Amino acid sequence: QKAEWAKLVNEQTVSSDGVHVELAANIGTPNDLEGVTNNGAEAVGLYRTEFLYMGRDQLPTEDEQFESYKAVLEGMKGKPVVVRTLDIGGDKELPYLDLPKEMNPFLGFRAIRLCLEEKDIFRTQLRALLRASSYGNLKIMFPMIATLNEFRAAKSLLEEEKANLVSEGVKVADKIELGIMVEIPSTAVLADQFAKEVDFFSIGTNDLIQYTMAADRMNERVSYLYQPYNPSILRLVKMVIDAAHKEGKWAGMCGEMAGDETAIPLLLGLGLDEFSMSATSILKARSQILNLSKAEMEELAAKALQMSTTEEVMEAVKAAAKLS
């Protein structure tokens, strides 16, 4: 099987009835690029930049960050690279920031919330990204967006730094797509409004499931509630995809669900445009999609949206998509 998949490295990902979707890779450092290329990713769909900040005793400088972003953009040779701005907090701590302990870190001062408060940290990252933007096809994505005002505030800081760099004579790419992670239910519910202002969505199911089901993604006692196939999750995913398409934007997914063989038929049917997963899952996913009819998966997805339990959905997918 592995040998069969290997033949697909340079192939496009097209359903049996001719619909193209993009298979992208999630990465944490420029060192992951080799796996991205070897596994035939069409893009980097999520570059988690927090690893640049972790395992050290002070913040990375603008130049250090610039070098990492540039390395990834150049390594991808013009293919899209979605870089997510700092998503610290929750399960990822930065001891040197000396932040107070919180009762509920996953509901607390993290990611964009921290960046909009600690503006110097955020501005430094945005400058590094903008400077790197002329070396490839950069798209910038903000994590943990809960309100439109957060997105607008982050966007205006980006625009300020862009203007600063331009006035300093630094080359910055003309068009940089600006998107958000959809991983908080409020944002999924209001996706039609967000879609008017963002260039793309990437659905972060790892967090979206935990927040929708109110089940800590790290807590085994409640892991039975962590249900990617719960129809409530599927309906949120559909709302996000439909909202994007209505405004002519694209919708991807970069949570673990995007690389799961039981989820892929449903996501194809729901109209997802980009699937971002660990590089080692890409060839298997491509081989699966080549054998799926999008029209049939649309029927499956429509039925799943009307079901009432996870179990029902999983049974239906297994039958329709010929999984064991």
- Is 205 a residue that touches ligand PEP (CB under 6 A)? yes
Binding to ligand PEP, residues 158-197 (CB under 6 A): 183
Distances in Å between the Cα of 6 and the Cα atoms of 38, 93, 259, 286, 291 are 9, 38, 17, 10, 16
- Is 206 a residue that touches ligand PEP (CB under 6 A)? yes
Per-residue contact string for residues 81-110; x = within reach of ligand PEP by CB under 6 A: ------x-----------------------
Map tokens 């709302």 to a residue. 239
- Is 228 a residue that touches ligand PEP (CB under 6 A)? no
Among 204, 252, 259, 265, binds ligand PEP (CB under 6 A): 204
Distance between CA 216 and CA 207 in Å, rounded? 9
Q: Which amino acid is at 98?
A: D
DSSP labels, 172-226: --S--EEEEEE-SHHHHHTHHHHTTT-SEEEE-HHHHHHHHHT--TT-GGGGGG-
Selection from ligand PEP, Mg ion, none that 254 binds (CB < 5 to 8 A by kind) is ligand PEP
- Rounded to a whole number of angstroms, the distance between the first and last alpha carbons of the chain is 16
Give the helix/strand (H/E) hosting 159: helix 148-167
Q: Total binding residues for ligand PEP by CB under 6 A?
A: 10
- Beta carbon of residue 216, minimum distance to ligand PEP (angstroms, whole number): 13
Map tokens 């945005």 to a residue. 126
Q: Which is nearer to Mg ion, 183 or 256 (CB)?
A: 183
Distance between CA 52 and CA 254 in Å, rounded? 19
Selection from ligand PEP, Mg ion, none that 205 binds (CB < 5 to 8 A by kind) is ligand PEP
Residue 115: other Cβ atoms inside 10 A: 25
- Is 255 a residue that touches ligand PEP (CB under 6 A)? yes
Selection from ligand PEP, Mg ion, none that 266 binds (CB < 5 to 8 A by kind) is none
Among 30, 204, 259, 271, binds Mg ion (CB under 5 A): 204
Selection from ligand PEP, Mg ion, none that 111 binds (CB < 5 to 8 A by kind) is none
Closest CA to 13 of 251, 285, 238: 285
Binding to ligand PEP, residues 260-319 (CB under 6 A): none
Interface with ligand PEP by CB under 6 A: which residues?
A: 46, 48, 87, 183, 204-207, 254-255
Interface with Mg ion by CB under 5 A: which residues?
A: 183, 204, 207
